[in-house]
Amino acid sequence: MNLTSYLALAAILFCIGLYGVITKRNAVMVLFSIELMLNAVNINLVAFAKYGMVPNISGQVFTLFTIAIAAAEAAVGIAILLALYRNKGTAEADKYNSMKG
């Protein structure tokens, strides 16, 4: 596989994630779509680290950081969604337009 294959795969994943963020109403699906977009970024980081002008390990290091950030984002996002679901009784993102009870 060459760099173009990795970039094409990452572009497809990013577009699917972007479509999910824009069109989905369910907040859990929006979080999953954001995770897809972050995975596309990780593929780009690793591909450019391997096939870049100066191949080195910095892409893998940045990928580990983004994986840790994505895990923290998922944990905090699910906790916020659970609290909102308990308060509002729905998981639809367009129903969360105010913070008052």
Return the CATH fold of 3-89: Helix Hairpins (1.10.287)
Q: Is 98 left (phi over 0), alpha (psi -120 to 50) or beta?
A: beta
Q: Which residues pair with 92 in a beta bridge?
A: 26
> In the 8-state DSSP scheme, what is residue 95?
G
pLDDT tens digits for range 16-48:
999 999 998 888 899 999 999 999 999 999 998
> Where is pLDDT greater, at 26 or 96?
26
Would you state the pLDDT for residue 98? 65
pTM of model > 0.95: no
Nearest of 61, 10, 14 to residue 34 by alpha carbon: 14
d(CA 20, CA 57): 32
Would you state the pLDDT for residue 100? 61
> Could you state, in order of their start, the residue ranges of all structural domains in the chain?
3-89
Residue with tokens 């308060």: 87
